[in-house]
Amino acid sequence: MTAETNLSAARKSVPEAPSRVDPVTVEVIKRRLVSIADHMDLNITRTAFSLLVSEYKDYAVGIVDGEGRLLCQSTAGMPLFIADVLGSCVRDGLKVYGADGFAEGDVVISNDIGQHLNNVAMYTPVFEGRTIVAFVVVVMHWVDIGGRNLGSTSRFATDIWQEGLLINTVKLYSAGRLNEEVQRIIRTNSRLPEELMGDIDAQIGACYMGRDGVDGIVKKYGLEVFRESVVAMWDQAERAARKAIAAVPDGIYTAEAFMDDDGLNRGKPIPLKVKVVIKGDEMTVDLSELPKETKSAINAGESGGGWSVARLGFRYAILPEGHASEGTFRPLKLVLPQGNIMNCGPTAARSYYNLALPTLIDLVIKSLATAIPDRVAGGHYATFSSVRFRGNKPGTRQAFQCAESGFGGWGALSDGDGPGPFRTMCHGDTRLIPMEAQEAEFPIVFESMGLLPDSGGPGEFRGGLGMIKKYKVLAPCEFSVSVDRTACPPWGINGGGAATGGGATITKADGSSGAVLKEVTNMDKGDRVTIWTGGGGGYGPAEKRAIERIRQDVSRGHVSREAAERDYGVVLDEQLNVVRRQAPVKRDSA
C-alpha cells in the first residue's frame, strides 16, 4: 500500500467535516490549557524542597477531562509520564467515588499506577455547576514513602508491600479541608518527612492553581464551546497521528535486545522482543513476547509500563511534533497479555519498573530502521545508571539521600552525529543536579566529571558520547548503583557500529577495587566510585565518514587516534594529517 492510499484511509476514518467551533477558538483554548500546565510546572520547580523535584524535575503535569481523557500536558514534562497514568488514576478514582462522589477542593492521591510507589499521582476536580469538566493531575516522585530502605525503591523487594506505603485513591483534602489523619500516616511513614511534606505542598499548590486556570477558561467560553473545542482538538490530533502513521510503509517489524540481568539472578539475561505492525493509518505495538513477570523488582503495570513503551516509541519514531492529547493515541494499539513484565499483577514488586523501559522504547525505533531510515537513530545508552548515597549526615541522626541518574550518548542520525549526553528516552527536561548543590548538601566530593572519549558508536555519523564521573565519599553511607546494557551495548543502525556500554568500579580507601553493575554496599570515608555511561550507536558505515569530521573528533578529544585507526581506518599523525585511510576493523552492526 502506498502512502497516498493510506492518506485517503486517514480521511475516511476521521471525517473532515469541520466542527461547529471556529478553528481559532480551538487553537486559543488548546494553547491556554498548555499555558496553564506550563505555569504549574514552573511553580513546582520553584516551590519544591527536594533536589529530586526542584533540580531533577522528577514530576509531570497534565489536564484530563471528566472521564480521564488527556487534554494536555506541560510542554517539557517527563515523557515517562505521558503514558496513561494521568488518566488511569482518575478513572480509578471515578470507580471508587462515582462521578458524583467528588466535591470542589478535593485532592485525591494514588500511587497504585503501575510504577514504583514513589510516583504519586495527585488530582483535583474542576467543576462547572455540578458537572466535572476536568481534573488537574500532578504525578511526582516522593523522596521516601517507607518500605525496606531509605528512598523506598529496593533492589531486593519481592512484592509491592516491601516497597513502601501503598495508597490506592485516598482523599488528602475533602472539599478543601485537609484530612489530617491521612497526612499523619504519610508523614510518619516517610524517612524524609520535612522534604516530603514540602514537596507535597508544592504539588497541592500546583493542583489548585491549575484548577483555577481551567475554571477560568470554562467560564470565559462556556461549557459547550469548551467541550466542542476539546473534541475538535482531539480530532485534529488524531488526523495528524493517522497521517504520520500512514506515511510509514505497511509491514510487520521486529527488533530484539536483552538486559544484563534483573539484579537478583546475576548474569541471567532478560530477552526483549518488540513487534510493531503498521497497517494503513494504525500502529500496533505487540509486547506479547516479553518475559513473564518476575520475583524481582523490574515489573511494571499496564499503564505505567506497556503503554509507556507504545506511546513513547510512537512519539519518538513517528510523531515527535506537537502537543499530545487523547486524539494523538487513538490510532495506536497495544497487544500485551497480563502477567508479562510490562503488565504485571497487583502484588509484583516495581522498584525498578523503569529498568527495561528505555531499551524497549528504543526497540520500537530500531524495528523501523529500514522502513523510515531518515527518521530513526542508533540506539541510545538506555539505562538509568542511577547512583544513590544514603545514610545520616555526619554527626547527626538526620537522614540524607543523594540520588542522581546518568547521562549518556544518544544515537546518530541519518544526517548528523548523535547528541548528548542526555538522560534516557524516559526523561525530557530534567536536569543534571549541579555538583556544587550536591556537595553542599551531602558528604560527597566529585573528583572529576567529563565526556568519555571513544564511547560513541562509529559510523558515517558517530553516536553521542557517554560520560564518566568520579566520587569520593566523606562519611560512612550505603551506596547503591544500577548499570545495565553492558553485554548488549547500544546498537548501531543501518550499517553503523555499536557504542561502548556503561560500567562502574568501587575503590576502597585501602586501594582494593572491583567492578560493580547492580550493587548495594556500605562505603567508608575515603572510598571512591567511578561510574560511566554508554555512548550512542553509529549510523551508516564508518568508511563513509568524512575525514574532516574524524579530524575534528580527534582534535576535540571525542575520538582517540587509536580509535580513529581501528574504527574508521584513518591513520593520523601528531599534527592530525592523514597518513592513510584503510578498511576499519569491523564492530558489530545492526
Partner 1 sequence: MPFIFSVDIGGTFTDLVACDLDSGALSFSKSPTTYDDLGRGVFDCIRRASVDARDAIFVKHGTTLVINALLQRSGAVTALVTTRGFADVLEIARGNRMRPFDLRFRRDEPLIPHELRFEVSERMLASGQVETPLAESELKDLAGRLREAKVEAVAISFLNAYANPEHEQRAAKILRELLPGTFVTSGTEVTREWHEFERTATAASNAYVGPQVSRYVEHFDASLRKVGFPGSLLFMGSHGGVVSSARTVREPISLVESGPVGGCIGAARYAASLGLENIIAFDMGGTTAKCILIENGEYAVESTYYIGGEETGFPIRGNVIDIVEVGAGGGSIAWVDEHGGMSVGPRSAGSTPGPVCYGRGGTEPTVTDANLVLGRLDAGYFLGGEMKLDAPAAQQAIAKKIAEPLQYRGESAVAKAASGILTIAGFTMADAIKRISISRGKDPRDFALVSYGGGGPLHSAELARELHIPFVIIPPEPGNFSATGMLLAEARLDSARTFVAELSEASMQQLTGVMAELQQGARAAMEADFGSESEANKAKVAFRNQAELRYVGQKHSLKVALPEQQSLEELSAIFHRAYRQRYGHSMPGAPVEFVAIHVAATLEMRRPRTDALMSQQSRVHEGRPRTRPVYFLDAERYVPTPVYNRYDLPVGFAADGPAVIEEYGATTLVGPRDKFSIGELKEIKIDCRN
Q: How far is the CB of 299 from partner 1 (least distance, A)?
A: 25
Closer residue to partner 1 (CB): 82 or 297: 82
The H-assigned helical ranges of 415-574 are 435-441, 547-555, 561-568
Does 492 sit near partner 1 (CB under 8 A)? no
What residues between 310 and 339 interact with partner 1 by CB under 8 A? Answer: 312, 315-316, 319-321
Amino acid letter at 111? N
590/493 Cα distance (integer angstroms)? 5
Which is it for the CA torsion 561, 563, 566, 569, positive or negative?
negative
What is the closest distance, in whole angstroms, from the C-beta atom of residue 232 to partner 1 in the complex? Answer: 9
> 63 or 467: whose CB is closer to partner 1?
467
- Per CB under 8 A, 226 contacts partner 1: no
Only one of the segments 93-101, 108-116, 238-246, 278-286 lies at the binding site for partner 1 (rule: CB under 8 A); that segment is: 238-246
- Which position among 92, 144, 195, 326 is part of the footprint of partner 1 (CB under 8 A)? 195
Report the nearest approach of partner 1 to the CB of residue 386 (Å).
Answer: 14
Does residue number 576 form part of the binding site for partner 1 (CB under 8 A)?
no
Rounded to a whole number of angstroms, the minimum distance from the CB of residue 214 to partner 1 is 14
Residue reference for cell 568519555: 452
Considering only the stretches 126-134, 270-278, 347-355, 433-441, report the one whose residues sit in contact with partner 1 under the rule CB under 8 A.
Answer: 433-441
Q: Applying CB under 8 A, which of residues 215, 250, 429, 478 lies at the interface with partner 1?
A: 429
Q: Does 215 bind partner 1 (CB under 8 A)?
A: no
Q: How far is the CB of 558 from partner 1 (least distance, A)?
A: 8
- Shortest CB 14 distance to partner 1, Å: 9
Shortest spacing between CB 290 and partner 1, in angstroms: 23
Q: Which parts of 529-568 interact with partner 1 (CB under 8 A)?
A: 555-558
Is the CB of 251 or the CB of 419 nearer to partner 1?
Answer: 419
Q: Give one DSSP letter per residue of 455-485, joined into a string.
A: -SPPSSBPPPPEEEEEEEESS-EEEEEE---
User: CB-wise, 26 or 165, nearer to partner 1?
Assistant: 26
Phi/psi at 318 (nearest 5 deg)? -120, -40
Beta bridge partners of 135: 64, 125
Q: Is residue 236 a contact point for partner 1 (CB under 8 A)? A: yes
- In the complex, the smallest distance separating the C-beta of residue 185 from partner 1, rounded to whole angstroms, is 20
Residues 41-60 that bind partner 1 (CB under 8 A): 42-43, 45-51, 54-55, 57
d(CA 350, CA 426): 16
Distance CA 379, CA 384 (A): 14
Shortest Å, Cβ 219 to partner 1: 13
Going by the DSSP 8-state scheme, the letter that residue 263 receives in this structure is: S
First to last CA, the chain: 26
Q: Which of residues 270 and 531 has its CB atom nearest to partner 1 in the complex?
A: 531
Footprint of partner 1 on 154-183 (CB under 8 A):
none
Does residue 578 belong to the site contacting partner 1 (CB under 8 A)? no
Question: Which residue among 271, 337, 373, 416 contacts partner 1 (CB under 8 A)?
Answer: 416
Of residues 163 and 281, the one with the C-beta less far from partner 1: 281
Among 187, 333, 393, 470, binds partner 1 (CB under 8 A): 470
**Residue of the chain from 114, 146, 147, 198 that contacts partner 1 (CB under 8 A):** 198
Instruction: Identify residues 1-40 at the interface with partner 1 (CB under 8 A).
Output: 16, 18, 22-24, 26-28, 31-32, 35, 39
Provide the H-helix boundaries in 300-395.
307-317, 357-367
Among 116, 171, 366, 423, binds partner 1 (CB under 8 A): 423
Give the integer Cα–Cα distance in Å for 16 and 6.
15
Cell matching residue 552: 575534528
β-partners of residue 286 are 275, 335
Rounded CA-CA distance 370/253 in Å is 9
Interface residue with partner 1, options 109, 165, 217, 377 (CB under 8 A) = 377
The smaller minimum CB distance to partner 1, of residues 208 and 258, is found at 208
Q: How far is the CB of 165 from partner 1 (least distance, A)?
A: 21
**Residues 445, 476, 495, 581: which binds partner 1 (CB under 8 A)?**
445
User: Are the C-beta atoms of 410 and 377 separated by less than 8 Å?
Assistant: yes
Q: Which is nearer to partner 1, 170 or 209 (CB)?
A: 209
Distances (CA, A) of 370 to 249, 443, 494: 10, 49, 7
87 φ, ψ (degrees, to nearest 5)? -80, -40
Q: What is the spatial distance between Cα 445 and Cα 390, in angstroms, rounded to a whole number?
A: 14
Whether the upstream peptide bond of residue 421 has omega within 30° of 0, thus cis, is yes
Minimal distance in Å, beta carbon 37 to partner 1? 13
Residue 87: strand, helix, or coil = helix
Spell out a b/e string for 454-482, using b for 16 or more CB atoms within 10 Å of the CB, else e.
bbbbbbbbbbbbbbbbbbbbbbebbbbbb
170 Cβ contact list (under 8 Å, min separation 6): 108, 109, 110, 182
Of the two residues 235 and 260, which places its CB atom closer to partner 1 in the complex? 235
What is the nearest approach in angstroms of partner 1 to the Cβ of residue 432?
A: 5
Taking the complex as a whole, how short is the minimal distance between the CB of residue 143 and partner 1, in angstroms? Answer: 11
* Number of alpha carbons in the 13 Å side-chain half-sphere of residue 311: 24
Residue 382 and residue 485 in contact, taking contact as beta carbons nearer than 8 Å: yes
Q: Which is nearer to partner 1, 41 or 293 (CB)?
A: 41
Q: Which of 85, 89, 356, 365 binds partner 1 (CB under 8 A)?
A: 365
Site residues for partner 1, 68-127, by CB under 8 A, read: 75-79, 82
For 264-418, list the strands marked E by DSSP. 270-279, 282-286, 332-335, 386-392, 399-404
In the chain, the amino acid numbered 3 is: A
Of the pair 25, 131, the CB lying nearest partner 1 is at 25
Q: How many residues bind partner 1 (CB under 8 A)?
A: 89
